[in-house]
Amino acid sequence: MPMLRLYTSSPATLHLASLGITGQLARRVQVLPLSALPAPQPARRASLRLEKAALQQIERTIRWTLSQYAEHRRLPDAAHEDALRSDLDVTLWQLQQVEASLHAVPIPPQA
């Protein structure tokens, strides 16, 4: 059976995970910190760029809709505006995550 790699987020979790794995299972499981995760594959850049473009379009749409409320071109709807602001926060956070992933993926050498 192939080796199973288990990645954990903290040294305490790493120690607890190591303690919980005993016997024959211990010979097939390798417990590692998150810092040991391999870098994403360069082929993943295209999908990350597409995800980024989709999130940017969502951000533009939300911002445009909020501007419509601010300029009184839409009927006031506090619940919808609050929901849009929350959606914008989530979208911006997702964009940060995609940006971080894009920076982590090595750029393949040009031929």
- The pLDDT of residue 50 is 93
Q: What is the pLDDT of residue 100?
A: 87
Mean pLDDT of 39-64: 89
Q: Are residues 25 and 48 in the same domain?
A: no
Residues 47 and 96 in one domain: yes
Question: Does any domain span residue 109?
Answer: no
CA distance 46 to 34: 24
Q: Based on the domain organization, do 51 and 15 belong to the same domain? A: no
**b (16+ CB within 10 A) / e for 68-107:** ebeeeeeeeeeeeeeebeebbeebeebbeebeebbeeeee
Confidence of residue 23 (pLDDT cuts 50, 70, 90): low
* Confidence category of residue 17, pLDDT binned at 50, 70, 90: low
Domain, as residue range, for 68: 42-104
Band of pLDDT at residue 13, cut at 50, 70 and 90: low
**Whole-number percent of the chain with pLDDT over 90:** 44
Say yes or no: 27 and 78 in one domain. no
pTM here is 0.60
- Measured in degrees and rounded to the nearest 5, phi and psi for residue 95 equal -60, -40
